[in-house]
Structure 1
Amino acid sequence: MRFTLLIPTVTLAACSVATIEPDARVALAERYGTAAPEASETLDLEWWSQVGDPQLTRLLAKARDSSPDLRTAAANVLAARATVAQTGADLYPGVTGEVSTTVSDGQGTARSTSNTGLVDASWELDLFGRTRAATGADALRARSEEVSFAGAYVSLAAEIADGYVRYRACRMVEAVYRDAVSSQAQTLRSTEDLVAAGISAAADMSLARANVASSRISLETQKADCNVIAQTIATAAGMPQSEVRSILSSGGGLPTARAFKVSSVPADLLRQRPDVVAAELDFSATLLDVDVAKADLYPSLTLGGTVTATDPSSWSFGPALSLPIFDGGRRRAAVRTANAQALASAESYRSTVFTAVGEVEEALTRLSTASKNLSNAATLVSEYQAYFDAIDDDWEAGGASLLDREEARRQVQSAMITRITQRESLLRQRIALYKAVGGGWSRRTQTTNGA
């Protein structure tokens, strides 16, 4: 069979591989189910600096430079860009040179030296767009890595800020327990005096001592919890624990996070969430992978030639045609594999979008709840404190038992801890919402600022 008849036959055979068209469309609601918090500020990447907490600002700055996750993401960007350059190089001719020197000597012959220089050139013509498609797919993946780097920065900032809020709240609860130990020690001394005077029963002494021991256990447990949170921050930031502890040792109390309004709708997440944009780019790359696999079904033409540098009159040149006649179905299977991967990538994109919307909805719901609970927690502390003061006066007058006083004190302590945890929850949900809506990142800011 002549080549002129074989090429059309192979070309027609290549068109017979059936594929399924991927569908990445997502149906989203027009608005979020929970009302956005009332505020007028818009999101931006430097929202953390507006919180006004110097220790948090220092932690974020150091974490940005030393976080293993962020440095890994940066390395992935470099590798992806290098892959694009490597694949794109196949669009151009390749030229190699070879120089050799041979020295020969033998009995009865004079020593001789010969030099040879060769220049080889080859160029595979991109007849069916395989290399262009492969380069395009790699370029999209490189862009995806750049976007993922931005997403890694948003996630890191949110993780460090969340840990910082947890640590500060933990230390505030620790202070509550420390005050409880001090108060219980005072109660123990008063009980000793009352027992010695015959006003209180000896059993009250045992109860007072048990209360002191219980408060000390709570205090030591809380200290350990705070140290664990500090260790978690150090791990995420990629910093020595001593350095993190040094930063956390100054300052105190919970930061005042600046509120912001979520004015966007669910559809806006398609352009302002780094993971959604990265998933979209990955999906587009898999579509080009299908084109690459289909192009492998067609013939390839390579132009090659050799020139002897030491003898320019000695040269050779000619085309080489590669025809995929029979490979046991490997190339067609590759097309179906690429198609299946594109289908899976489409579903991965859709899943990422649904997850993004769900995270925003969850953060909005929890933020709204935390805002309502915070005012109730303030009332809780005020009323329980008034109740304890009344019981305490009655106890000192001998009208209430130590057990009644201890129960009232525990209620005040629990209310104070509840108020701290609700303030903590409000801040953490603002951070979660900030991350869920993209952390101020968008296609526009990424294009302007780069990776």
Structure 2
Amino acid sequence: MRPLPGLISVLALSACAAAIVPPAPQQAVSARFAADAPQAGSAIDLTWWGQFNDAQLADLLRLADANSPSLRSAAAAVMKARAVAGQGDAGLAPVLTADLARSVTKQADTARATDDTAKFDASWEIDLFGKARQTAEAARLSAAAEEAAFRGAHVSLSAEVASGFVQYRACMRIEAIYRAALGSQRDTLRATGDLVRAGLAPQSDAALAEASVASAAIALESQTADCRVLAQTLAVSVGVSQGQIDAILSRGGGLPVPRAFRVSSVPAEVLRQRPDIIEAELTFAAALASMGAAQADLFPSLSLGGSITLTDPKSWQFGPALSLPIFDGGAARASLRSAQAEAQIAGESWRKAVLSAVAETEGAMTRLAAARRNGASARKAVAGYQAYFDALDAKWRAGGETLLNRETARRSLQTAQITEVEQREAEILQWVALFKAAGGGWTRPAQAQAAALPQSEGKE
């Protein structure tokens, strides 16, 4: 018969034969952004929202922090992950249990007897091949990943609430344009009726004026409904009642003006500040640790155990126990292959997160630059169409221009005014999108930096 130490050596060598090379994904990123990065004087920080100088937006963000269902769910996920990490750490320590019992017996021909028993049991699995340590490390890394996910949820929620608020304000501004247009059309209808009755305008002008009023009423009603839906969406995001949201939105009215901030021209620096990248890195590191724990299952395990009966101190036992994975139908190796696949998936998820982050940042900067240029053009268009409409309106009132031409000019002016509002909205929304894409002002935590993937020049 082969001695026990020799058998252990054979099993250990067999386990080593199943060793695998852990995945090591890398993703190259450009040295600089392709789009022109904003180069304002100040760097991005967490107080950026306060620089809008909008009390209503500040109120909504505070309420969202306290009441948002998505943020509360993310916080609960962090609590759960920390609890699991605590369980993993507990697996490294010995286990001690106490059993206390009392029994009372009474038979017909004997007196009643009481029997007390007190017993302590202790066990400790010696972590010879690192399974318990790797399991605990995986749990700790998963908890850190959940904390990064919570930070990401906070950034996303802030951006979502701010974007919804900006869209609502822009919607209300466009509604005001439609409302003013409807009032103007009604004035035109009355003036046209007077001219028709006086024989100074054809009946067709009255029909055109009535049609214009009806069209303006439809546009206003549709816009009002759109604004109401935006307010209802904000209530869901913030997590409070519709009445509370309406009370906040009823104050103020103009579009907020965000303060420009500087974006690093190096994509890798931006990526290091994004919570989702930190989360993906930590998730991958946790998957590698889980793979190490699965590999340790191929090796023998050694535990120490013992017990002592306090009511009978001479009654005790102590000794080691060795578990040898001789044959399990391939379950342990299948578990290892599964853990390897999970690590591979986590590594590719990290690569995808890096690519998505670069694309999101590039897209926000590209759209921001376009919106700023379009905003200047939209303001010029409004000024030109306003002057054109004023001239035709004066000629129409003097009887020298047709109502059809005047209405065409009015619709062009209205379209230009709406376009200007939309371009201002787009610029603000792209500042918000860029704030989110750049990590929302978060600073990469030290523990995330320590667990980061190996980096090389030009790599993140």
Aligned match of 2:34 = 33
Asked whether 1:129 is paired with 2:134, we answer: no
* Counterpart contact for 2:271–2:358, Cα < 8 Å: no
Q: What percent identity do the matched residue pairs reach?
A: 51
**SS in structure 2 at match of 1:310:** coil
Contact 1:269–1:353 (CA under 8 A) maintained in structure 2:
no
Deviations 1:293-314 (A, max 9, x none): 1111111111111111211111
Residues 134 and 336 (structure 1 numbering): CA distance in 2 closer, same or farther, change over 3 Å? same
Residues 1:233 and 2:201 are matched in the alignment: no
Partner of 1:71: 72
1:292-336 deviations in Å (ceiling 9; x for gaps): 011111111111111112111111111111000000111011111
Superposed CA offset, 1:414-437 (max 9, x none): 000000000000000000000001
SS at match of 1:40: coil
Q: Deviations over 1:147-185 (max 9, x none)?
A: 111111111111100011000000000000000010000
Match of 1:21 in 2: 22
**Which AA in structure 2 matches 1:381?**
V
Q: Distance in 1 between matches of 2:363 and 2:159?
A: 16
Residue in 2 that maps onto 1:310: 311
Shift of 1:445: 8.8
Contact 2:375 2:420 (8 Å CA) reproduced: yes
TM-superposed deviation, 1:5: 2.1
Task: Report the Cα offset of residue 126 of structure 1.
Answer: 0.5
d(CA) in 1 for partners of 2:234, 2:113: 72
For 1:308 and 1:101, how far apart are their aligned partners in 2?
14
Whole-Å Cα distance in 1 between the matches of residues 73 and 214 of structure 2? 48
Aligned equivalent of 1:414: 415
1:417 aligned counterpart, secondary structure: helix
Tell me the TM-score normalised to structure 2 length: 0.95
Q: Read off the aligned partner of 1:239 and give its amino acid letter.
A: V
- Please, which moves more after superposition, 339-348 or 15-24? 15-24
SS at match of 2:326: coil
Aligned structure 1 segments of 4 or more residues deviating by more than 2 angstroms? 18-21, 444-447
Within 1, Cα distance between the matches of 2:183 and 2:330? Answer: 81
SS in 2 for 1:302: strand
What amino acid is the match of 2:286? A
Q: Structure 1 residues 444 and 115 mapped into 2: Cα distance closer, same or farther (>3 Å)? A: closer
Q: Secondary structure at the match of 2:200?
A: coil
Match of 1:12 in 2: 13
Count of equivalent residues: 448
| Structure 2, unaligned runs of 5 or more | 449-460
1:139 aligned onto 2:140: yes
Matches within 5 A, 1:367-378: 367-378=368-379
Alpha-carbon spacing, 1:191–1:34, altered in 2? closer, same or farther (3 Å): same
Distance change in 2, residues 1:101/1:129 (3 Å): same
CA apart distance, 1:108: 1.2
- How many Å apart are 1:21 and its aligned residue? 3.5
Aligned counterpart, 2:452 = none
- Cα deviation, residue 107, structure 1: 1.1
Q: Distance in 1 between matches of 2:227 and 2:186?
A: 24
Report if aligned partners of 2:124, 2:304 keep a CA contact under 8 Å in 1. Answer: yes
Match of 2:51 in 1: 50
1:390 match: 391
Q: Deviations over 1:65-120 (max 9, x none)?
A: 11111111111111111111111111111011111111111111111111111111
Contact 2:93 2:124 in 1 (8 A): yes
| Counterpart secondary structure, 2:319 | strand
**Secondary structure in structure 2 of the residue aligned to 1:252:** coil
C-alpha distance in structure 2 between counterparts of 1:306 and 1:17, whole Å: 37
Aligned counterparts of 2:313 and 2:221: Cα–Cα separation in 1: 87
2: distance between equivalents of 1:446 and 1:123?
30
Instruction: Give the equivalent residue in structure 2 for 1:159.
Output: 160
Tell me which residue corresponds to 2:358: 357
Q: How far, CA to CA, are the matches of 1:351 and 1:312 in structure 2?
A: 63
| 2:256 is aligned with 1:263 | no
- Once the two structures are TM-superposed, the CA of residue 446 in structure 1 deviates from its matched residue by 9.1
- Where does residue 219 of structure 2 map in the other structure? 218
Deviates more, 1:397-406 or 1:323-332: 397-406
Counterparts of residues 410-449 of structure 1 (less than 5 Å): 410-444=411-445
- 1:182 matches 2:187: no
In structure 2, do the counterparts of structure 1 residues 446 and 439 end up closer, same or farther at CA, with 3 Å as the change threshold?
farther
Q: Give the secondary-structure state (helix, strand or coil) at the position aligned to 2:317.
A: strand
Unaligned runs of 5+ in 1: none
Q: Aligned letter for 1:35? A: D
2:300 pairs with 1:299: yes
Alignment partners' CA distance in 2, 1:224 and 1:445: 48
Counterpart of 1:342?
A: 343
**CA shift for structure 1 position 223:** 0.7
CA deviations over 1:108-153 (Å, ceiling 9, x no partner):
1111111111111111110111111111111111111111111111
Q: CA deviation at 1:264?
A: 4.2
Residues 299 and 322 in structure 1, CA contact (< 8 A), matched pair in contact too: yes
Residue 109 of structure 1 aligns to a residue whose secondary structure is coil
Q: Distance in 1 between matches of 2:181 and 2:231?
A: 24
Q: SS at the partner of 2:91?
A: helix
Residue of structure 1 equivalent to 2:114? 113
Could you tell me whether the CA contact under 8 Å between 2:264 and 2:270 is conserved in 1?
no
What is the alpha-carbon distance in structure 2 between the residues aligned to residue 128 and residue 329 of structure 1?
19
- Residue 124 of structure 2 aligns to a residue whose secondary structure is strand
1:239-254 counterparts in 2 under 5 A? Answer: 239-254=240-255
